[in-house]
Amino acid sequence: MFASSSDRLELVQSVTDFNACEFAVRFRKGERESELHFSEGEFEAAFDTAHAWKHVHGAEYVEMFRVDPKDGSLGGGIGAL
């Protein structure tokens, strides 16, 4: 199951030194839906993870988003792979 905006906001608010949830990668493979979170400055790691789930692990759906630090919503979709 994908995380909710309130789940992501809780992660953002739990760390004050940096944005602990700047990017989210969602993927679906079979019946499994997962969402991984990446902190500030981890764009490359998030992109590599998304790419691996799509092209190595064969996920049917992979998409990467920026997380709005004000409310935890997914905004500014970086795009589907």
pLDDT (tens digit per residue) in 49-62: 999 999 999 999 99
> What pLDDT sits at residue 81?
67
Give pTM, 2 decimals.
0.83
> What pLDDT sits at residue 32?
94
pLDDT band at 74 (very low <50, low <70, confident <90, very high): very high
Print burial letters for 26-51: b (CB count within 10 Å at least 16), e (below 16).
bbeeeeeeebbbbbeebeeebbebbe
pLDDT (tens digit per residue) in 13-37: 887 767 778 899 999 999 999 999 9
> What pLDDT sits at residue 40?
84
Domain positions in the chain? 5-80
